[in-house]
Amino acid sequence: MAKRQKSYKEKEAAAKLSPGIIVLYILLILFCLLVISPLLIVVSSSFREPGNMRSPLELFTQFSFDSYISAFTKMNYPMQLLNSLMTTGGSVILIVIFATMASYPIARIKSKTSRFLYYFFIAGLVIPSQMVIVPVAQMFGNLNIPNTRFTPMVMFITCSLPFSTFLFTGFMKGVPVEIEESAYLDGASLWQRFSRVVFPLLKPATVSVVITQGMWIWNDYFFPMIFISKSSQYSLPVGMIQFLGDRENPAQWNVLFAACVLCALPLIVVFAVLQKQFINGIAAGAVKG
Amino acid sequence: MKEKKKRGTPISLVFPKRMYVFIIPAIALFLTFWIIPVFQLFYYSVTNFNGVNYDYDFVGFKNYMTLFREGTLVNSIKNTLIYAVIMVLGSNLLGLVLAMALNVKLRGKAFFRTASYVPALFSAIVVGFIWSYVYMPESGMIASLMNTLGLDGSSFNVLGNYKTALYAIAIVEMWKAFGTTMIIYLAGLQTVDESLIEAGRIDGCTEWQLIRKIKLPLISATITINVILSIIGGLKAFDYAFIMTNGGPGKSTNTLMFTVYKIAFTDQMMGKASALSVVAFIVIIAITIFMLYFMNKREVEL
């Protein structure tokens, strides 16, 4: 497969008659193969029967869904998928609401207080979650917040606020003040101005926040691992932790690979559909920030 | 005219102080679940609190002394710094070179871009599993490959060797991160004005001079962002020490955050874990501020 791709690319490049470009193509193809080779082996092995560990380097020699069926049942896939969807979706919606609201005064009022609040939020960016997890867990205990599938959402939202507020503030400063002034003269209230005038104009930043934070939340296993005790409430990544012991057992590797594919699949599908938004959203998030 | 005057005065009718109400939900969450816990860490770091029993004593700087005497402090800071340096250099060089290569008019550009970005879509736990297999001695991907090539694959065990384990997990993090770095560099390179490059070509610049004298200076802001992002990511190193090596062999992959987690949850010594957190906090803040200052200065110079 690799060879065919290479010669095809070479032909294309040869049309431009530049040896530099050909070398570039070869290097790029080799590099990309190197990068995705672990993934190829994972996908290929996941289609083997659970026991078949013979020479995994021979790609796609067997097509069986046994490993998938086994992983699917062991993970309780539909349940975990639903949990993941609910927590990610819910968190992202609340992040957008809270962060846009917070950045509204920070971007619009020019005073020492608002500048202080801005840096106050940014400072949160550098604190790793492992560091504060014990006091945070105590705080949950003191506030009598029970461990449910939605408990990690509190932390997802809190940890996303610094980045999101930062991004929205930067973006909101670019929204002309004149628009709001005319809305004010037309008698719009603060809330109306925020929700009807400013918020719709923040769409590019919203897309960026939804993608970057959504991706992080979807993939995070740390907070669910700490805050969820029942396995029926696990999200996909934290469900993967139960496979940790299986690494010692070679007979389980193909099932493990199938579980990895199942876990990653939803995001891959979304990425495939919304590739352009992903690329732009990630770039915009970093460039603005 | 009227509006202009309004904007100049400190009390604005359009943007009154009561706008601060909007910030309440965010600040309430942020204070309760992020800032107060950080302050609690400072307090617990001078106690012998075990995380469960609230009957603890004030022990002064004993936790800090123990951490220092045991060598935990120096070891975990050293490991974290090595990890962060590999992350910063590796993912930025790789990302930048790749972005430069893909910024040329190429067919199949989207394919290469996607292939390099795909690893970033996986959860750290999945990546940890995949690379545990890649590094597995005897029957893992690299070992099998070595066997096929006639080399001795059974001697290959990077994760089991205390000299190589840290580098091995840093490479995993790099594999996951460089695609994102590349996308950010690509976005930066696309803002470079083509006419400047053309002008350089007409003046007889070599390709290397074009990169060195025109492209790199013009994307210095992007470089700053990427470097800062990878430093923050590298200093937070936790995932692969947790999933792939469990800190071992020995203490060779004990990064700051993994050690904090281990002391707090496995050893149940919250006071000691807090002391290490406080040190980590200071290290992270100091490095971030230093780098921001250093990079900003460079940006102006260029």
A177 touches chain B (CB under 8 A): yes
Tell me, yes or no, whether A258 and A124 share the same domain: yes
Contact A135 B113 (CB under 8 A): no
Which residues are paired to B58 by β-bridges?
B47
The pLDDT value given to residue B89 = 93
pLDDT for A52 beyond 80: no
Instruction: Tell me what the mean pLDDT of segment A146-169 comes to.
Output: 89
Q: For the ranges A3-17, B27-41, B55-69, which has the lowest average pLDDT?
A: A3-17
| Chain A residues with beta carbon closer than 8 angstroms to that of B22 | 101-102, 104-105, 194
Chain B: closest CA distance from residue A264 (Å): 6
Chain A: closest CA distance from residue B289 (Å): 10
Tell me, yes or no, whether A89 and A132 share the same domain: yes
Contact A127 B32 (CB under 8 A): no
Q: Which CATH number belongs to the domain containing residue A234 in this structure?
A: 1.10.3720.10
pLDDT tens for A202-222 read: 888 899 899 989 999 999 999
Tell me, yes or no, whether A21 and A95 share the same domain: no
The pLDDT value given to residue B93 = 94
| Chain A residues with beta carbon closer than 8 angstroms to that of B226 | 286
Sequence ranges of the domains in chain B: 42-301
CATH class as words, domain B42-301: mainly alpha
Tell me, yes or no, whether A82 and A50 share the same domain: no
Chain B: closest CA distance from residue A86 (Å): 17
**pTM flag (> 0.90):** no
Residue in B32, B96, B123, B210 to test binding to A, most A beta-carbons within 10 Å: B123
pLDDT tens for A86-122 read: 999 999 999 999 999 999 998 888 888 888 888 888 8
Instruction: Tell me what the mean pLDDT of segment B161-176 comes to.
Output: 90
The pLDDT value given to residue A2 = 46
Tell me, yes or no, whether A90 and A65 share the same domain: no
A56 touches chain B (CB under 8 A): yes
Domain that holds residue A182: 76-288
Tell me, yes or no, whether A63 and A96 share the same domain: no
Instruction: Tell me what the mean pLDDT of segment A137-148 comes to.
Output: 84
Tell me, yes or no, whether A202 and A123 share the same domain: yes
Residue in A126, A248, A269 to test binding to B, most B beta-carbons within 10 Å: A126
Q: CB pairs under 8 A, 24+ apart, for A104-108?
A: A104/A172, A104/A194, A104/A198, A104/B19, A104/B22, A104/B23, A105/B15, A105/B19, A105/B20, A105/B22, A105/B23, A106/A165, A106/A169, A106/B23, A107/A168, A107/A169, A107/A172, A107/A173, A108/A172, A108/A177, A108/A180, A108/B15, A108/B19
pLDDT for B299 beyond 50: yes
Q: Is B196 in contact with B226 (CB distance < 8 Å)?
A: no
Residues B192, B221: Cα–Cα separation, whole Å? 12
| Chain A residues with beta carbon closer than 8 angstroms to that of B35 | 124
Which residues are paired to B47 by β-bridges?
B58
Contact B112 A138 (CB under 8 A): no
Q: What ipTM score was computed for the predicted complex, to two decimals?
A: 0.85
Tell me, yes or no, whether A50 and A6 share the same domain: yes
Asked which of A52, A71, A90 is the last residue of a domain, the reply is A71
Tell me, yes or no, whether A284 and A147 share the same domain: yes
Nearest residue on chain A to B238, alpha-carbon basis: A130
pLDDT for A128 beyond 70: yes
Contact A155 B122 (CB under 8 A): no
A69 touches chain B (CB under 8 A): no
Query: Which of the four pLDDT bands, split at 50, 70 and 90, describes residue A283?
Result: confident
Contact B20 A127 (CB under 8 A): no
Tell me, yes or no, whether A193 and A282 share the same domain: yes
Contact B129 A275 (CB under 8 A): no
Tell me, yes or no, whether A92 and A57 share the same domain: no
Contact B22 A104 (CB under 8 A): yes
Q: Which residues 112-141 of chain A have a CB within 8 Å of chain B?
A: 113, 117, 121, 124-128, 130-136, 138-139
Q: Is A147 in contact with A155 (CB distance < 8 Å)?
A: no
Asked which of A27, A55, A71 is the last residue of a domain, the reply is A71
Counted domains in chain A: 2
pLDDT over 70, % of chain A: 89
Of residues A181, A268, A284, nearest to B3 (C-beta): A181
Tell me, yes or no, whether A239 and A282 share the same domain: yes
pLDDT tens for A267-281 read: 999 998 888 888 888
pLDDT for B54 beyond 80: no
pLDDT tens for A67-90 read: 888 888 888 889 989 999 999 999
The pLDDT value given to residue B85 = 93
Q: Is A260 in contact with B113 (CB distance < 8 Å)?
A: no
